Amino acid sequence: MKNYSSLAAALLVTGCAGISSQRAELGDYREASLPDAPNEWAVTLPAPAAESDWIAQFSSGVLAELIEEAMQANPDVASAVATADAARAGYRAARGRALPSVTGGSENSYSGLVEEFDQGTEAYSLGITASWEPDLWGRVSRRVRAADADYIASNADLSAIRLSITGATARAWISLVNARAQLILTQDELRVRQNSAQVTERRLSAGVATALDVRLARSAVASTRASIASAEQSVSDAARSLEILLGRYPAAAVESPDVPPQLDAMVDLSNPTDLLARRPDIAAAEARMAAAGMRAELARLALLPSLSIGGSTTFSSDEIADLIDVEQLAGRVFANLTAPIFNGGALKADAEAAIARARASISDYAGVVLNAWREVEAARAADISLEKQEIALAEALTEAEAAETLAERQYQRGLITIFNLIDAQTRRISAERQLLNVRANRAANRINYHIALGGGALPLADLPNADMSTEGSTAP
């Protein structure tokens, strides 16, 4: 064993010098820069508020129940769960391969003439082989830590999918609510148009209206009937979209309220630095960056000699009884130390490719972070704009309702034409439709805001733990 120890020491010294020279020659993947997090958001909102259940502001428990149903039945969530399970198994396999491996086998042989079978000789043998790769230069530990990072990334992906389905379900629900509200508004419009047509026909009978007035009133009624058919189709489409997210058959049977929620002003719930720990897609990108770093180090280490230790022993049928004798067994096991040195041509190219992929993962992480900040800033700015639109449209609706009431009175008294009445009715309906739409848009944007903040997803610290550093403790 002294010779083996001397060889191992020589390889260790050579490897330490080799790693330094490889980094100087191949470059360092960690040279890429990451974006700096600002201390506060660019778009200013009211004072911070304590976080609560953000889903509750959109319904009285109905939406929360639908989201829970989607978490249980959505196919994308089920697929992500299976992927996370596969990554966990891969991590366990990597840990298992880091341990010594022992295999066994048996052989049965017979010698003698066939016709004299009972006079032949039958022999049995039992073989045991053991092998182990010492963690020289941290090669083994890096494999395990790379698999660990893959597991963390897959769990973060699962959280990201759940968060995405949560947002998609909430937005689909808001779309269905708005579609029903629009349908009810169009049905109300039909009643208004029909009343106007009846008044116009009575005025024609009294000789104070013309046939043109009647035709125009009837045309408005027919157009509104077409709008109702279109609104009904919109309700069905929105319901089916929601049912698909819920894992249900798309029968357009799901129910919802018919009034979009009126929201309070948006408040600060986080800051740009907090977002880095809240977003599961950032956690996944960070874990993949760590895994790529580990594999870049592994590719570098592949250029160095590798060390393995193995042993095997075989027992004949006469010696099998010795298996219970520990001293006999120990005497039959031998150590085998090999240290092959690889040609660096292809391996160097592999190392360069792994280092390039590690740099790409850093850039991917930076892109994910920047996009997360963009989503939050955009949602904050959009809410300010939508709030202004909602206030203005609410005022426009109030004025349009008063104008419509006045127009109806004046038309009945013959002071204005059917054109004026239809115009007043159209303005009121248009203002109400726009107000419903802007409230729905603001609700959808508020959902986007909470999803962009990470919603209720687990931060990285709550995911299965792994050492995310890129340097192994055993590396020289």
Can you tell me the mean pLDDT for 305-331?
57
The pLDDT of residue 122 is above 80:
no
In tens, the pLDDT along 332-356 reads: 444 444 444 545 578 788 888 888 8
Q: What is the pLDDT of residue 450?
A: 92
Of the candidate ranges 128-142, 144-158, 303-317, 443-457, the one whose mean pLDDT is the lowest: 303-317
For 302-323, what is the mean pLDDT?
Answer: 63
Strands 308-316 and 336-338: antiparallel
Whole-number Å distance between alpha carbons of 169 and 35: 32
Neighbours of 106 (CB within 10 A): 10
133 against 391, higher pLDDT: 391
Q: Name the average pLDDT for the chain.
A: 80
Lowest mean pLDDT among 13-22, 74-83, 128-137, 309-318: 13-22
What average pLDDT does this structure show over 312-331? 54
- Rounded mean pLDDT of 270-289? 90
| 206: pLDDT strictly greater than 80 | yes
Q: What average pLDDT does this structure show over 45-66?
A: 79
User: What's the rounded mean pLDDT across residues 443-449?
Assistant: 94
360 pLDDT higher than 80:
yes
The mean pLDDT of 38-63, rounded to a whole number, is 80
Contact 252, 243 (CB under 8 A): yes
Q: Is a pLDDT exceeding 60 seen at residue 32?
A: no
Find the mean pLDDT for residues 270-277: 86
Residue 278 has pLDDT above 80, yes or no: yes
Q: Are 237 and 196 in contact (CB under 8 A)?
A: no
Rounded to the nearest 5 degrees, what angle is found at the Cα of 37, between the Cα atoms of 35 and 39?
160
- In terms of residue numbers, what domain contains 270? 2-98+135-305+341-462
Tokens of 130: 């053991």
Per-residue pLDDT at 330: 44
For residue 19, pLDDT over 50 is answered with no
Q: How many CB atoms lie within 10 A of CB 217?
A: 24
Which CATH number fits the domain that encloses residue 41?
1.20.1600.10
Structural domain contains residue 325 = no
Q: What pLDDT, on a 0 to 100 scale, did the predictor assign at position 460?
A: 39
pLDDT of residue 31: 58
- Give the pLDDT band (50/70/90) at residue 413: confident
Average pLDDT estimate for 12-40: 59
The fraction of the chain above a pLDDT of 90, given in percent, is 41
Q: How far is CA 410 from CA 220, 276, 403, 415, 421, in A?
A: 19, 62, 10, 5, 9
Q: Is the pLDDT of residue 331 over 60?
A: no
pLDDT band for position 223 (50/70/90)? Answer: very high
Helix-helix angle 2-26:280-301, to 10 degrees: 120
User: Does 103 reside within a domain?
Assistant: no
The residue ranking higher by pLDDT, 354 or 314, is: 354
Lowest mean per-residue pLDDT among 230-244, 286-300, 367-381 = 286-300
pLDDT of residue 271: 86
pLDDT at res. 60: 67
Q: How many CB atoms lie within 10 A of CB 83?
A: 15
Q: Which two tokens stand for residue 20?
A: 């330094």
Residue 470 vs residue 417, higher pLDDT: 417
What pLDDT, on a 0 to 100 scale, did the predictor assign at position 232?
A: 96
Min mean pLDDT across 238-247, 330-339, 385-394 is at: 330-339
Query: What pLDDT score was predicted for residue 365?
Result: 92
pLDDT higher at 258 or 431: 431
Higher pLDDT residue, 472 or 62?
A: 62
When mean pLDDT is compared over 11-20, 160-169, 268-277, 336-345, the highest value belongs to 160-169
Q: Is residue 402 part of a domain?
A: yes
CA distance 74 to 51: 27
Is 114 inside a domain boundary? Answer: no
**Rounded Cα gap, residues 268 and 386, in angstroms:** 17
Candidates 335, 343, 334, 352; CA nearest to 305 is: 343
pTM above 0.75, yes or no: yes
| Exposure string for 20-54, b = 16+ CB within 10 A, e = fewer | eebeeebeebeeeeeeeeeeebebebeeeeeeeeb
Q: Give the pLDDT confidence score for residue 338 in this predicted structure.
A: 47
- The confidence band for 276, taking pLDDT boundaries of 50, 70 and 90, is confident
Which of the residue ranges 28-42, 271-285, 292-306, 369-383 would you say has the lowest mean pLDDT? 28-42
Q: Domain for residue 187, yes or no?
A: yes
Q: Is residue 312 one of the residues assigned to a domain? A: no
pLDDT at 473 > cutoff 50: no
**Pairing relation of β-strands 121-132 and 101-111?**
antiparallel
**What total number of domains does the chain contain?**
1
pLDDT of residue 309: 66
Residues 107 and 117: their CA atoms lie apart, in Å, by: 19
Q: How confident is the model at residue 112 (pLDDT cuts 50, 70, 90)?
A: low
Q: Residue 473 falls within a domain, yes or no? A: no
